[in-house]
Chain A
Amino acid sequence: MKLTVLQENLKTAINLTSHFITNKAQLPILSSILIQANKSKLTLSATNLENSITTSIAVKIEKEGEITVNGKVFNEVISNLSSGTIDIEVVKEQIKITSPNFKSNILGSNTSDFPKLPKSVGRNSIVLEKEEFVKSLSKVLFSVSLDETRPVYTGVWFIFNDKNLTLVATDGSRLTEIILKTKITSDDFSLIIPKSILNEIVRIEEDDNIEMSYDKENNQVVFKIGDILLSSRIIEGSFPDYKKIIPKSSVSIINIDKLELEKAVKLSSVFARDAGNIVKLIINNEKLVIKAESSTSGSQETEIEIRVGEGEKSIEQEIEIMFNFKFLEEMLKVIENDEICIKITGANTAAIFLDSKSPNFLHLIMPIKSQN
């Protein structure tokens, strides 16, 4: 293998690829990147046995060939080189890297141990409009659980139903649902995709549309964005019936300035941090009071004016409801409108948060049950 490549291009590709290797892996092959030079393309691949990536860049090739190399070492070397052309040559399982003022020999190894990765997205792929898909995805991803003991909560539920794609994520205490209108004409189906691969998709800076296919037999999903091919295993199991837990009626519907609420939550967090992250919201007809109290550092109280929705009945009784402030904070980050709409049913039932700028967005937060 012998080729010439631009450092900038190679750097981006390796950077992305190296997200898919595990440094903890016991088998050296899993911390390696597979490099293949074929015709006019340099292809980089990596896998951690859960998900995989294959990406390619255009290079000038003198001699075709392939090799695997420790991803971390290769990435660090390439990233730290100055921009410009780099010559790469493979001689007897050694990679020679030469740039105008730099020379390096990196030990590589045979490619025969490297797992076979998906080559293409397959025929029956679904096309998703990149911008809208990624925007929606980033709005649900924060609700995904980090707790591995409940595997189904560690992914996003994709439901293809009647030309709509519904994305749902929950960690058991909060839930986000977003509905995308698509032109898909596939059969209705649903699958749970792990958050790790989705986090990567959100980060990829390509403008091409996303193609997606689902291999039911191998329990695998494949995404194609431009020259990048990603695959991931699918989480087995079924998502709880979340529709059932969305409160149908509410005691009060209020609208609040988003920035003010954001500020108030931020302020309350100063004290709430020592008190189990609990902030108390007290809502009556004119205002919302946010209280936080800590036995070690003190207490605070912020008042925000609210607007009760037009045609809505007024609040008969003052409502007290307690939340984890982190949940409020993260939810507020994805709200686009200046104003947020909150629907409350009671102190012990989930509250609904809506964004009037994106009507397909719904967020639920379960309040913290009061002790008395």
Chain B
Amino acid sequence: MESKDYDKLWKDTLEILRISVSDATFKTYLYHTHLIDIKEIGDRVIAQIGCESFFIKQQVEQRYFGLIQDTLNKELEKQADLTFVVKSSHQSPSTNHQSPSPLFDQPKINQEEINDALKKANLRFMFTFDKFAVSGSNQMAHAAAEAIAQNPGTTYNPLFIYGGVGVGKSHLMHAVGHSMILKNTNSKILACTAEDFTNDIVDGIRNKTTAEVRKKYRKLDALLIDDIQFIAGKDTAQEEFFHTFNAVTSAGGQVILTSDKPPTEIFKLEDRLKTRFQAGLIVDVAPPDFELRSAIVLIKAEERGITLGNEQVALIAGNITSARVIQGFLVRLFTEVNFKHVDLTTDLIQSLLGKPDEASNIKIKVNPEDVITSVAKYYSLGKKQLLGESRQRPIARPRQILMYILKTQVGLPHQEVGRLIGGRDHTTVMHAVKKVTQLLSTDVDTQEDMKGIRKTLTG
């Protein structure tokens, strides 16, 4: 009989006893007893009854022995013998599953050990769940990764994360590895890129050490491979990976892969690999939306020890679309503030945003004429109207956005932009850039428009 059945039996017994004794007696004595064990010996049973304290045991044993015995005889339909012990009731689930109190809730493993383990696993120190900001665009992938971190190898195997550049695929993958290390520093985890994997195979063949390479990859608790699409078209690497994949997963290890496209769209990927990837969970990570970018700005800024106001965060998040570029921008901001000793102000951020930086901000290589056409088309305006004299908002606002794009994205100088937009003064252009920079941080419509125009430009 399980302890649950004992509880049920004892509950029934107590209900019957309750009828025979006074309420006070019941609540003082009998209520504080419980059934610990029942042993059957021949046609008799021995019931062990636990009492919460010595006095209760004494009283119950002396006064209610007969009564309990009679009741139990009827319940069990056998002759029952009773023994009494002092023992607290085992059923106190609330006390067992409580979170530890602050004093006893401290990391047990020292940091050095963790760092060593991370280094061995080739995991990036900064890529943890703590530092991963979640919003609608990556919620699904994050939830899947967390679930895996809880139960590696069983929940989703393999996990296939795909998405564009700088959306946080590798971050999630490494975070799973990181949390596994935190749980057990002896976990065997390896994070690498498909390139590393291929190189190892090639080295193995050349140096005749294939066996060692296999040992390195096949006996793992978790194998994390970045940019798996690069394996496509390399036959030996694919075959080796196929066997590695099978070896790891069949031993209960977790496999996580990232790619820039879903498995079905990876050209020259063997079918047996495709189907294996599809057997697990495939999630995509979309480019970060405005709120997520704001969160990323905050996290990255904190890492660098920069404190930003809400307005400033919105300004950066509104103007830069990729997480990696945000990081680059903060590095620039940090350098500007620390080495040039400039005060960190909204104006500074605005001027840095407006300044097309060497590499980071020029992304669109298009003809200015095309930009004008795209903007006009997007707002359903005539080109003449757009470049004309009207100062009405429905026309002036698109014009300002046009100037912003020409200045910051195409990288034309103020004068040139002015010339293109119907021969306007360069100060008009500067005003427009400043205005749109501000709008991007606060106005959802402008953000949406910007996204839309960008799409038409980049195709």
Query: Chain A contacts of B24 at CB under 8 A?
Result: 26-27
Count, chain B residues at interface, CB 8 A:
29
Q: Report yes or no: B28 in contact with A30, Cβ–Cβ below 8 A.
A: yes
Known interface pairs A150-B95, A151-B95, A172-B103. Does A26 touch B54 (Cβ–Cβ under 8 Å)? no
Q: Is the interface of B mostly helix, strand, loop or mixed?
A: helix
Output the least CB separation between B167 and chain A (Å). Answer: 27
A334 to chain B, nearest CB (A): 18
In the complex where A149-B94, A149-B98, A172-B103 touch, is A27 in contact with B25 (Cβ < 8 A)? yes
CB pair A49 B28 closer than 8 Å: yes
From 151 to 196 in chain A, residues with beta carbon under 8 angstroms from any chain B beta carbon are: 151, 153, 170-175
B16 at the interface (CB under 8 A from A): no
CB interface residues, B 17-32, toward A, < 8 Å: 23-25, 27-28, 32
Q: Are A26 and B103 in contact, CB atoms less than 8 angstroms apart?
A: no
Contact B53 A366 (CB under 8 A): no
Interface residues on A, range: 35 or more
In the assembled complex, which residues on chain A have CB atoms less than 8 Å from the CB atom of B86? 217-220, 233
* B56 CB within 8 Å of chain A: yes
Q: CA A209 – CA B115 in complex, angstroms?
A: 55
Q: Contact: A115 with B58, CB < 8 Å?
A: yes
Q: A349 contacts which chain B residues (CB < 8 A)?
A: 106
**B268 to chain A: closest CB distance in Å?**
50
For residue B186, CB closer than 8 A to chain A, the reply is no
Which among A49, A237, A242 has the greatest number of chain B C-beta atoms within 10 A? A49
Known: A172-B103, A175-B103, A366-B103. A236 touches B27 (CB 8 A): no
Q: Which residues of B contact A228 (CB under 8 A)?
A: none
Q: B53–A233 contact, CB under 8 A?
A: yes
CB-CB under 8 A from B261, the residues of chain A are none
Closest residue of chain B to A48 (Cβ to Cβ) is: B55
Specify which chain B residues have a CB less than 8 angstroms from the CB of A286 in the assembled complex: none
A173 adjacent to B28 (CB under 8 Å): no
Once A151-B95, A170-B103, A173-B102 are accepted as A-B contacts, the answer to whether A52 and B28 lie under 8 Å apart by CB is: no
Measured in the bound complex, the distance between the Cα atoms of B102 and A175 in whole Å is 11
> Which residues of chain A are near B101, meaning CB under 8 Å?
150, 153, 171-173
Interface string of A71-98 (1 = CB under 8 A from B): 0000000000000000000000000000
B-contact bits for A42-75, CB 8 A (1 contact / 0 none):
0000010110100000000000000000000000
A248 to B340, CA, bound (A): 43
Contacts of A233 in B (CB 8 A): 52-54, 86
Whether the pair B54, A220 counts as a contact (CB closer than 8 A) is: yes
Q: Is B87 an interface position by the 8 A CB rule?
A: yes
- Does A27 contact B28, Cβ atoms closer than 8 Å? yes
In the complex, A170→B23 CA distance in Å? 37
Q: Chain B contacts of A153 at CB under 8 A?
A: 101
Given A217-B86, A366-B102: 13 more A-B contacts, CB < 8 Å: A25-B28, A26-B23, A27-B28, A115-B58, A150-B95, A151-B95, A172-B100, A172-B102, A173-B103, A219-B53, A219-B87, A220-B53, A233-B54
Instruction: Report the Cα distance A117→B87, complex, angstroms.
Output: 18
Residues of B within 8 A of A116 (CB): 58
Residues of A with C-beta under 8 A to B85: 217
Q: In the complex the two chains form, is A245's CB within 8 Å of B106's CB?
A: yes
Given contacts A149-B98, A173-B103, A220-B86, is CB(A115)–CB(B59) below 8 Å?
yes
Tell me, yes or no, whether B88 is within 8 Å of chain A by CB: yes
Q: How far is the CA of A151 from the CA of B96 in the complex (A)?
A: 11
Chain A residue with the shortest CB-CB distance to B62:
A116
For residue B106, which residues in chain A have a CB less than 8 angstroms away from its CB? 245, 349-350
Kindly state whether residue A240 has any CB partner on chain B within 8 Å.
Answer: yes
In the complex, 7 of the A-B residue pairs with CB atoms within 8 angstroms, ordered by the A residue number, are: A26-B24, A47-B55, A172-B102, A173-B102, A174-B103, A245-B103, A245-B104
Q: Which A residues are CB-close (under 8 A) to B218?
A: none
Closest CB of chain B to A140's CB: distance in Å? 15
Interface residues of A (CB under 8 A from B): 25-27, 30, 47, 49-50, 52, 115-117, 149-151, 153, 170-175, 215, 217-220, 231, 233, 236-237, 240, 242, 244-245, 349-350, 364, 366, 369
From residue B287, how far is it (CB to closest CB) to chain A in Å?
29
Collect the chain A residues with CB atoms within 8 Å of residue B174's CB: none
Chain B residue numbers with a CB within 8 Å of A220 are: 53-54, 86
Question: How far in angstroms is the closest Cβ of chain B from A152?
Answer: 8
Instruction: Give me the 7 closest cross-chain CB pairs, A-B, nearest first.
Output: A172-B101, A26-B24, A219-B86, A233-B53, A236-B88, A218-B54, A366-B102
**Given known contacts A27-B25, A150-B95, A52 and B103 CB-to-CB distance under 8 angstroms:** no
Q: How far is the CB of A62 from chain B (nearest CB, A)?
A: 32
CA separation between A149 and B96, bound complex, in Å?
10
B102, A49: Cβ atoms under 8 Å? no
Kindly list chain A residues whose C-beta atoms are within 8 Å of the C-beta of B23. 26
- By a CB distance below 8 angstroms, the chain A residues around B414 are none
* Contacting pair A219 B54 (CB below 8 A): yes
Please encode chain B, from 95 to 135, with 1 for each CB lying within 8 Å of some chain A CB and 0 for all others.
10010111110101000000000000000000000000000
CB of B57 within 8 Å of the partner chain: yes
Cβ-defined contact, A236 with B104, below 8 A:
no
Contacts of A49 in B (CB 8 A): 28, 32, 53, 55-56
Assembly CA distance A231 to B27 (angstroms)? 22
* A117 partner residues in chain B, CB cutoff 8 A: 55
Measured CA separation A25–B27 after assembly (Å): 10
**Of all chain A residues, which has the CB nearest B59?**
A115
Which residues in B have their C-beta under 8 angstroms from that of A150? 95, 98, 101
A50: contacting residue among B53, B59, B95, CB under 8 A: B53
Q: Closest CB-CB distance, B16 to chain A, in whole Å?
A: 20
> Which residues of the partner chain B approach A244 to less than 8 Å between Cβ atoms?
108
Question: A1: shortest Cβ distance to chain B, in Å?
Answer: 24
Inter-chain CA distance A364–B104, complex, in Å, is 11
**Docked pose: A104 CA to B88 CA in angstroms:** 43
